[in-house]
Structure formats: structure tokens, C-alpha cells
Structure 1
Amino acid sequence: MALRMIVANYWGASPGYTEVSGKSIHWPGLSGNPPPNRPRCGFTGDDPVCDVIEVMPTYQIALMCLIGVIFFGFIIFFIVYRRLTWERDLRNMSWRVTFADVTFLSARADSFKLSMLDVGTMATMETDDDECKHSFTRVGLYQLLEYKGLA
């Protein structure tokens, strides 16, 4: 059973309380003092102390916006630059091979494997038998590097 005893007297007509001699109150918290009579921001939260909102100065906001715009500008510039160089290299057409530059090999009996290329075996749909037809094409050579002599 908890021991109850009177440690202070509170009278509503006078502020605060009066302690009973020889007794003390154990207040929770680190200070050991009683809580304040009024909360920090007031009972309704409208105390001017709590209205302080720390806002960044206008120049800091403008500077951060400017840095963001510059950053995204660099990204857009990089993407556009890469696209333009890619299209320029594509229009260069140095990768295309003209028909006149290709040398076709002759279909000799001893070089059949070099001169003809099997591009696939496909079953014919017109016939009902299980025969397969081969489709061959001619093989051509293209010399990629040209020798330009010492001149």
C-alpha cells in the first residue's frame, strides 16, 4: 500500500503553493523544479516566441535556382551536342560501301565454299514433300584499307 502524506498546501486565492515544513516534493525531470505555470508557446500556441520561422534569404534562394538552371542547361546541352554529332557522323556516309568497291569471287569448282554462301535452308510451302531447298548467294570482298604509297 502506498504511503500518502501532505507535502504542500495550495490555496487558489494566492499564487503558488506553500510547502509543509520537513517535507519535499520530488519533481520529475533533470532540474528537480516544478513545471512552469504557462507552456512555452502559450495554451493556444499563439505566443510570438513560437512564430519565429527561419527562412533563407532571397539571395540564397535565387542562387540555388540559378545553380539548378545552369546544371540542367549543361545536361540539355550535352544531350543536344551528342545527338548532333551522332547525326553528323551518320550523314558522313563513310560507312557505306558502294557496289563498285565490292569484288565478287568466281564460282570455281575448287573454291565452291568460298564463292557461294548458304543463307539458310527453308522448307518450301508449295510442295507437300519433305524436300528442303538451299538458297545460295555470291560472296564478295571489300578492301577496307587502301594503301597509299609514299609520295
Structure 2
Amino acid sequence: YGRLAIAVVPSDKTTSALADLPVEALRLPSPIIEGLAMLGVSRIGPLADIPRAPLALRFGPDISRRLDQAFGRIGEAIVPVRPVDPVEVSRNFAEPIGAAETIAKYIGKLVPLLCQGLDERGQGVRRLDLLLHRVDSRTEAIRVATAMPV
């Protein structure tokens, strides 16, 4: 909403920095934005100058809460985006295998299972990791990446 994507503002300049931003920057529900527009209030500065009690009576507590969050008077909880558990398929062997043909054969058997798991979730892939655990406790990794989800 501002001229810059990110702006660092001294705490004593917060009010003036936010004054010219549209009320949409407060992330208020659409009915409140529309109600403020009917009152002729389109910027945060004029909105902040209106006494809080009449605003709360007409629109509820959202405006006061969002203004207080914007001005740094109260905190706002951030809900983290948790990564989705990856789709994994595996095959264990009783004896070590080393022939490339055997490895390729079992990769060929695992790929349809992987595709099924992705399909059940409605997902595609951008990166695939093949992890081969060796008998000497080392892990060999092969990564395949795509430009677009497949």
C-alpha cells in the first residue's frame, strides 16, 4: 500500500507514516471498509482521528484492534505456515544390493507408489530426493528438480 515494500519507521513517526495509507491496509472485513467509505473515510489518518467509542458502536471492535496493532500498541499473533509432510516411499532389503539394474528396477516399482501418494493429496513435485542407505552407514543422495510441478 505504501511507496516501499518495506519501511522502517521510528516509533515516534508511526502515526504520520500510516496516515496516508488506505483503510484497506488495516485488513478489515469488507463490510467495514464499505461502511467507512459511505462515511467518506478512506485513509488511516482520518480514521485514527475519529473517537473510538462511536466506531466501536457502529462497526464493532475490529477497527480499534487493527489500529492498535498498526500503531504498535498491541501485538498480533502470527500463525506460522507449517510445511506439509512429504510423500515418502521406501524399500528395505535383507541383503545389500549394488547392481545398477537392480536399483533401477526397484526405483521403477517405487515411482508408481509415489505418484499414487501425490495423487491422493492432489499434489505434484518440484524436487525428488532418492536416498540410498549403504551398509557402511553412509547415505548417497540423488536430487532431481523440475522447473514446473509435475
Output the TM-score relative to the length of structure 2.
0.21
Q: Which has the higher contact order (CA 8 A, sep 6+)?
A: 2
Output the TM-score relative to the length of structure 1.
0.20
Structure with more of its chain in helix, by fraction: 2
Structure with more of its chain in strand, by fraction: 1
